[in-house]
Amino acid sequence: MKERRYKETVPDNFSPNNNNDIWSVFKIMGEFVDGFDKLYRVGPCISIFGSARTKAGNKYYDLAVKTGELLADKGFGVITGGGPGIMEAGNKGAMQGNGKSVGLGIDLPHEQGMNEYINKEYSIDFNYFFVRKVMFVKYAQGFIVFPGGFGTLDELFESLTLIQTKKISKIPIVLFGSEYWGGLVDWINKTMKEEGTISDNDTDLFHITDSTEEAVDIICSFYKKHELNPNF
């Protein structure tokens, strides 16, 4: 068998800059410190995930506004990715309900930057996606997941994985919109379970609903039996 020669594929000018890598460590540490410093003071929050492309007037936008408002009425702050669409709707609802409205922003294509419904003292910009995701996982006491794309699925499945593997405590996860999520849930039940790639009780880690009241009730019922604490 012919030995692969990297010289054939790696250009001669390939030379990683170790100094840049070292300085990146300090930039990453700085983002963690800034995020921890601001978010530990916010208090209990629920994260609303969903598509940045959902426009005002869409039924899910309106329902996310109502959900944010109901959460604020129950004493929760709302954390979103700070952008437009469902994120904007969740922040708008929190502000309408006189709750704390938190935005964890990041510079992405197709997004307009931070929405206008975020409390200035709880607006944080990140350069690193993974640092931002740690903040969601650490400080959100639950997730309500509206229809969204790859980013929403990434956040959903990372949260489920961390709970499944007991890297964080169990927290409530609600999928909002049975019409949107139904096909995925059917595939999880009929394919993943049948193939044995997940356990039968792994689908107990999330709920699915079309009701804003039920979504918020699931969160509140959970915390009648569990303490509110950062997740790690």
Give mean pLDDT in consecutive 10-residue pieces for the chain, a chain of 232 residues.
57 68 89 92 95 96 98 97 96 97 85 88 93 94 97 96 95 98 97 96 97 98 90 69
- Amino acid 110: pLDDT: 64
- Amino acid 5: pLDDT: 56
- Amino acid 207: pLDDT: 98
Contacts of the segment 147-156: beta carbons below 8 A, 24+ positions apart = 147/50, 147/51, 147/54, 147/60, 147/86, 147/176, 147/177, 147/180, 147/181, 148/49, 148/50, 148/51, 148/86, 149/51, 149/53, 151/52, 151/81, 152/49, 152/50, 152/51, 155/49, 156/49
- Amino acid 159: pLDDT: 95
Phi, psi of 9, deg, nearest 5: -115, -25
CA distance 89 to 54: 9
The answer regarding whether domain 44-222 maps to CATH 3.90.1150.10 reads no
Question: Domain segments of the chain: what residues?
Answer: 44-222
